[in-house]
A and B are shown apart, each in its own frame.
Chain A
Amino acid sequence: MSDEKPIKVILAKLGLDGHDRGIKVVARALRDAGMEVIYMGMRLTPDEVAERAASEAADVIGISLLSGAHQKLMRAMVEAAERQEINQETLIVVGGTVPESEEAVLHEMGVDGVFPVGSSLADIEQFIREHRKPRG
């Protein structure tokens, strides 16, 4: 295991939402779990995040949204990842205030994992390890 390349995770907040407690806790937890974490900060566009993920060859894009704009912004995030042609090897996950009734919609549009507020750090880590996509 020790000679395996660490999982690389890009974390970011899209739009104007400033709630960053959760994403910072997740950033630390994933780092403490041995992953390479790049937290880009807030007020980013989906294209900025996708470009960074492509240039870093990231395994995971983790988006935090507590703004209620998850449908519009996650659709835009998936499309931005498609433009960078990284969907096949990059896991896209979102955390925050996503109502249960909307989780299916997010999965349909190409979001791999949804972690609503109250999710445990262990569950997030496990999901990433189990669902990480093989790199071509």
Chain B
Amino acid sequence: MPLFDQDALDAERKQRQAWEHAELADATARAPESQPTFQTISGIPLERVYGPGEAAEISYVDDVANPGQFPFTRGVYPTMYRGRQWTRRQIAGFGTAKSTNERYKFLLANGQTGLSTDFDHPTLTGYDSLHPLAEGEVGRLGVAIDTLPDMGDLFEGIPLDEVSISLTINHPAIVMLSFLLAHAEERGTAWNRLRGTVQNDALKEFHGQKTFALPPRGGYRVTMDLVEFCTTQVPLWNTISISGYHTREAGSNAIQEVAFTIAQGMAYVEGGLKRGIPVDAFAPRLSFFFGIHMDFFEEASKLRAARRLWARIMKHRYGATDPRAMLCRFHTQTLGSTLVRNGVLNNIARGTSQALAAILGGTQSLHVSGYDEAHDIPSEDAMRISLATQRILGSETGITNTTDPLGGSYFVEKLTSEIEERAMALIAQIDDMGNGSMLDGMFAAIDSGFIERQIADASYDHQLRIESKDYSVLGLNEPVPDAAPPPQLYDHDDKEEERQKERLAAVVRERDPSGAARALDALRGAAEGDDNLMPFVLDAVRAHTTEGEIMGALRDIFGEYSDPAVF
């Protein structure tokens, strides 16, 4: 059923034609528009104005529907923010686990409602703090976690069964979740009471975040082992946060972000099905993560399009019957790369507009990037403002009173459909590379450099638009009068790296060496076969082996990956 009946459309067309010949023609004769054509940041051409004619192909019942109703364009839940607002989840992590634990307590005291852990590069890439390549990066952009006692420090005094926890890590996710599960055991918290998310998106590491610790197929195996294990053992845990954020940060446009993210998700669903897990059993625990760029309507429409696309694919291609298996639930984070060094407080305005797009796009949780992030990791003051931004939007503006207030906008509905169609076309290209298997298609698209090249093209195009001032950014290609430095940047403690290295050495010194060696040998043996690796990793962390040792054992079997340096 179309949004409008034929009579209404005919009347609208006549009225539009009359307007074009009269009011519009007069106006453009007096003063031409500022540009010959207009487009979104991602390059989607835009009409001057949208009306029923532009949205004529869209069916309310089939394409839009009500919130919480297939295909979930208007939101994943029937009541959305009228029921419960989004989770305010600012990611945090730096230095040692003890320092990050203090920041967590600060954030919880300032109105944060969920925790998210940012790991340092050595932890993300599966190396110990004592590895030579880790020099200078230990605890620098995130928290350093090497062993089980570090995880104990990280969550000291925080009730594990009351606060939802996100572990933002990928190939070593199996190690970090094992640390957390073993720590929960020590504290006597049952695994089935733990709520949270592990990013665990192996495939995006090769074109998005680039913190790979394993090659594509080994990384994928570990991701799926975690999914399979948690489906029965940690039932409330979100097993993959299928991520587009990093792809966007790597320079993709919004269409590529949706397409590659959904394609990653399809590859995981196919992996679960291959293992004989019913789709309705594991798909409800898959969640998503998107970035929020500056183009307000494109971003809000992108989120609506992603929801619809995922629901349709899950229902029609993979035969999901439980509506929860069709829901594209997501976390959003305003993109750090959109922040500007010059005139740093202006970034508060950027963050507010981006957060508004995320909320009107129906996000389940939100991180507003700190205004000072073009300089360094965020200060406490920046995080205070980010949380305040979320609280002000949530309680003072009235935007949460009505669900999907953008729904039915001719423009937003048309843009939503346009993004869905363009993303679907890109997904179909990857599907073809795998001859109908998205799993094979994704491996082919990664191996051939297809995805990296697509992103590099979009990234370069966007930079050229900035260079030519075709797209203006205050403080970047438009001067900003107040180039004052930010008030108070995050203050690094250079001693943290040494503290962490000493801590790691002490844990290794005090453990039973033969028990650690046995656990690692058993893990290598399992990696050579088909057994689920999670129980072996759990045994290894209980024996106080280090993250680097565990990932090293997996590298022994799966091999190492080196960046193909596509540009």
Contact = CB atoms under 8 A, between A and B. Distances in A.
Contacts of B485: 100
Given A15-B121, A68-B140, A118 B340 contact: yes
Interface stretch (A34-42, A50-58, A126-134): A34-42
Interface stretch (A19-27, A78-86, A87-95, A103-111): A19-27
B133 A45 contact: yes
Contacts of A43: 125, 133, 562-563
Interface size band for B: 35 or more
A72 B136 contact: yes
Interface string B176-211: 000000000000000000000000000000000111
B473 to A, nearest CB: 9
A121 B127 CA distance: 34
B140 A121 contact: no
Interface in B127-142: 127, 132-137, 140-141
Nearest to A116: B341
A49 B485 CA distance: 33
Nearest to B489: A99
B460 A67 contact: no
- Most central of A16, A20, A41, A43 by chain B CB within 10 Å: A16
Interface in B529-567: 562-567
Contact of A20 (B141, B210, B475): B210
Nearest to B463: A25
Contacts of A112: none
Given A67-B121, A118-B340, A118-B342, A19 B459 contact: no
Given A15-B135, A73-B136, A99 B460 contact: no
Contacts of B135: 15, 69, 72-73
B254 to A, nearest CB: 16
B399 interface: no
Contact of B460 (A25, A40, A41, A71): A25
B118 interface: no
Interface of A: 15-21, 23-25, 27-29, 39-43, 45, 67-69, 71-73, 97, 99-100, 116-118, 120-122
Across the A-B interface, the 3 shortest Cβ-Cβ residue pairs: A18-B210, A69-B136, A41-B565
Given A25-B459, A29-B460, 18 more contacts: A15-B135, A16-B121, A20-B250, A28-B460, A28-B567, A41-B562, A41-B565, A42-B563, A42-B565, A43-B125, A67-B136, A69-B140, A71-B136, A73-B136, A97-B376, A117-B341, A117-B374, A121-B463
25 contacts: A16-B124, A16-B125, A16-B127, A16-B133, A16-B134, A17-B121, A17-B137, A18-B124, A20-B250, A21-B251, A21-B337, A24-B456, A24-B459, A28-B460, A43-B563, A45-B132, A67-B121, A68-B377, A72-B136, A73-B136, A97-B374, A116-B341, A118-B374, A120-B477, A122-B467
